[in-house]
Chain A
Amino acid sequence: MSTGYTLEGFENIQYQGLKHLQTLQGRLSTLYKSYGYHQVMTPTLESYDLYSDEEGFRREDLFKLVNHQGKVLVLKHDATVPITRTAAINHRDRKEIIKFFYHTNLYRNFSSPDIIKKEESQMGIEYFGSHSPECDGEIIELALQSLKVNGIQDIHVDIGHVGFINHFFDTLSLSKKTRLELFRLIENKNLADIHDFIAPLSLTKKSKKILMALPMLYGDPKDIVSEMSELCVNEDMEAVVDYLKALLHHTDTVGITPYLYFDLGFTNRMNYYSDLIFKAYMDDWGETVIGGGRYNHLSAQFGIDRPACGFGIDLLGTLDYLDQKGLLEKEAVSTTVILYHRDEKARAHQYATELRSKGKSAEMFDLYTTPKAFIHSQKNNILYENARFIYLKDGVFHHYQNGALVPEKENPSCKSN
C-alpha cells in the first residue's frame, strides 16, 4: 500500500464522521431557514484580485492557480466576499433586504507548515440591507442558536467594535506602521510592551492613559459601556457607545445578554469589518468556533453600497468539541445483506427491491463460498458492523444464531410467492 499520495493538511471525512457533519449541517440549515435565510452557493475558484491585501487577506495564505489565459485564480478563501458580490449582482436596489446562508469549503494557510489544516468546512449567514441594532442582534442570536441546537450550553460571545479603537486612533496622527504595531500589542493585551512602546511617542498623557486602558476594556457589557463613556474623546466614539447601548437594549429584550461579554481591545484580521465584531466560544475549549461582524463598506466595491452583517461557523472545530464532550450520538446504520446462490438470484433481488421500496437498505451477494466464510471475511469491516446477514437457501431465508442456521420467523419468500 502506498502512502505517498497523502497530502498533509487535508483530511478524509467518512462514515460516522461524515454522518455527524451532515447532521450538524442539517440542523443549521433548518435553523437558518426558520429565520428566513436563503441558501446560496458561489464558485470554488475565484479571481486572485477578489481577495485583496487591503482587506487583510495575506497573499501567502491563498491557494493560487493559473488558467489557460494566464489569469491567476484562487481557491475560495473566504465566503463573505463572494457572497457580497452575489448579492450585489442579483439585487441592484440597495434598499432590498437580503438574507443568505451558505455551506462551503474554504482553503487557507497555503504557506503554513504541513501540520496546519488547509481545508475548512464553514457554514454561515449574511444579512444585507440593514444597519440596526436589531439586525446585529439577530446575527448574534443566530450565532448562539447555532451552538445551542447542537446541545452546547456553556457559550460565550465576545462583542467588540472596531469603530471605537479606529475613531480614537484617528485623533493620534500616528504613522501606519506605528498604528499597526499598537493594534497588535492591544490585540495581545501586551500591557508591558504597550507601555514601553508609547513612552517615547509624543502623545498627550490622556491619550497614553486611553491606550493602556483599551486592552483591559473587557468584561460585563454594562460595566464596560460605562467605562467606555469615560474614554470618549470625540463624537464618533460617543456614537459607538450609544450604538452599543441600543444593541444591549435589544439583547436584554430578547434575553441573550447573559451570554455576552464586551471586549473593545480585540480586532479582526479581516479589514472589511467596519463596526460590530464578535466571536463565540465555549468553556474549556481554547479555540473560537464562530467569528463575524458588520461590514458596511465591502459591498460598495461591487457597485452597490449597502450595509451588511454576518458570521461563519467552523463545522469541523464544532464537531471536535461535540466529540470531546460526548454530545455526538452514534447513528446506527443497519443494512440487510442477502446471500444467495446463482439459481435463486431472482428471488433474492425481489426481496431486496421490496426492502428498498420500504426505505430500508439492502445489499445482495452471489455466494461462491459458504455463507459462514463470507460473513467471516467481513467481520472486521466497519461498514458491515451492524449488518444483518440472511442466507437464501432452497427458497427459504435463514440467519445464523449461535453458529447454526435458523429459518427467518417471517419468511418473505413464503408471502411473496
Chain B
Amino acid sequence: MQIQLALAKGRVAKKAIALLGEVGYTFPDYSDDSRKLIFTDSTGRIAFFLVKSPDVPTYVAKGVADIGIVGRDVLMEHPAPVYELLNLNIGRCRICVAGMENAQIPQNKKIVVGTKYPTIAKHYYNEKKQPVDIIYLNGSVELAPILGLSDYIVDIVETGSTLKENGLVVLEEIAQVSSRLIANKVSLKTKRAAIDPILEKFDSMRYDG
C-alpha cells in the first residue's frame, strides 16, 4: 500500500525531503529542477507531490493525499478537518506584528494592519479587543507601513533580516510556527499499517534532534 504525501513547495519541502532521507526514504528521481510532479521513493512505499502551501490541507482533507507536511501558520489561517499529528520542528519561525521603528501611532484608536494572514490577524486583535482594519496583501507586506498603506503588518518572521533592511521592527509575537505532519482522518485508520511506521520514524527523530 503506497502512501501519498503532499508537501508545501519552497524551503520547507527541501527540509522535509532531507528529513525523509534521514528516516530512510530516498527519492532517486527528485532534484531541485526536476519537472516531474510526483516522486516515488526507492521502495515504493511513499510518493510525494509538491503543491502551494495553502493547498496542502485541502489535498489531505479530501483524502487525495494521506498525509502532508505544512507550516502551522497555514493551518491557523486555513483551518481544515485533518489530524495534526506531529510537530516536525523544521521550518521554525514566528508570526509577528511588526511596524516602523520609532513610528508614532496614537493609542486607543483603530489601527490598520496589512497582512497575508487575515484570519490570524483578525483573531489576534479580536482577542486583544483592539479595533482594527485588516488589509489583505498577497506579498511584499513590508512595503505597507513604509508607504503608509497600514500602521502595522502581521507576517512570518524567520531571521528578521528582511524587516531590518526595511527599517521595521518586531513589536509583538503572535505564535511560534513550525512544520506539522498532518493526516487525513480516514486514511489514518484505513492505511494504518503503512502510516504508523512513518509516524514512528518521524517521532523518534523529533526527540533525537
Contacts and interface: CB of A to CB of B under 8 A. Distances in A.
B30 interface: no
Contact of A261 (B84, B184, B189): B189
Interface stretch (B47-55, B56-64, B93-101): B56-64
B192 A192 contact: no
A188 B86 contact: no
Given A188-B83, A192-B86, A192-B87, A287 B189 contact: no
B153 interface: no
A394 interface: no
A286 B63 contact: yes
A192 B84 contact: yes
A284 to B, nearest CB: 8
Interface in A245-279: 261, 263
B189 A218 contact: yes
Contacts of B82: 188
Contacts of A189: 83-85, 183, 188
A287 B84 contact: no
B85 A286 contact: no
A190 B83 contact: yes
A189 B186 CA distance: 13
A191 B183 CA distance: 13
A288 interface: yes
A190 B84 contact: yes
B108 to A, nearest CB: 26
A188 to B, nearest CB: 5
Contacts of B190: 154, 156, 281, 283-284
The CB with the most chain A CB atoms within 10 A, among B85, B184, B186, is that of: B186
Interface in B94-149: none
Interface string B169-190: 0000000000010011111111
B189 A158 contact: yes
A286 B61 contact: yes
Interface in A284-314: 284-288
B83 A287 contact: no
B160 to A, nearest CB: 23
A288 B83 contact: no
Contacts of A261: 189
Given A285-B63, A286-B64, A287-B63, A192 B186 contact: no
Contacts of A218: 189
Contact of A287 (B62, B86, B192): B62
Contacts of B64: 286
Interface string B62-82: 111000000000000000001
Interface size classification for chain A: 20 to 34
Contacts of A82: none
Q: Is chain B's binding surface mostly helix, strand, loop or mixed?
A: mixed
A284 B114 CA distance: 41
Interface string A134-146: 0000000000000
B56 to A, nearest CB: 14
Nearest to B80: A188
A287 B186 contact: yes
A285 B85 contact: no
B189 A285 contact: no
A219 interface: yes
A193 interface: yes
A330 to B, nearest CB: 26
A286 B186 contact: yes
Contacts of B180: 192
Nearest to A185: B84
B84 A193 contact: yes
A191 B85 contact: yes
A207 B84 CA distance: 22
Contacts of B84: 188-190, 192-193
A285 B186 contact: yes
B192 A219 contact: yes
B200 to A, nearest CB: 12
A192 B206 CA distance: 11
A194 to B, nearest CB: 10
Contacts of A283: 190
Nearest to B84: A190
A285 B183 CA distance: 14
B86 A288 contact: no
A285 B189 CA distance: 12
A222 to B, nearest CB: 16
Nearest to A194: B84
Contacts of A190: 83-85
A401 to B, nearest CB: 49
A287 B192 CA distance: 16
B86 A286 contact: no
Interface in A39-64: none
Contacts of B86: 191-192
16 contacts: A154-B190, A189-B83, A189-B84, A189-B183, A190-B85, A192-B84, A192-B86, A193-B84, A218-B189, A263-B189, A281-B190, A285-B63, A286-B61, A286-B62, A286-B187, A287-B63
Given A286-B63, A287-B62, 14 more contacts: A156-B189, A189-B83, A189-B84, A190-B83, A190-B85, A191-B85, A191-B86, A219-B192, A281-B190, A283-B190, A285-B63, A286-B61, A286-B185, A288-B185
Interface of A: 154, 156, 158, 188-193, 218-219, 261, 263, 281, 283-288
CB-based closest 9 A-B pairs: A286-B63, A192-B87, A190-B84, A189-B83, A281-B186, A283-B190, A188-B84, A286-B62, A286-B184
Interface of B: 61-64, 82-87, 180, 183-190, 192
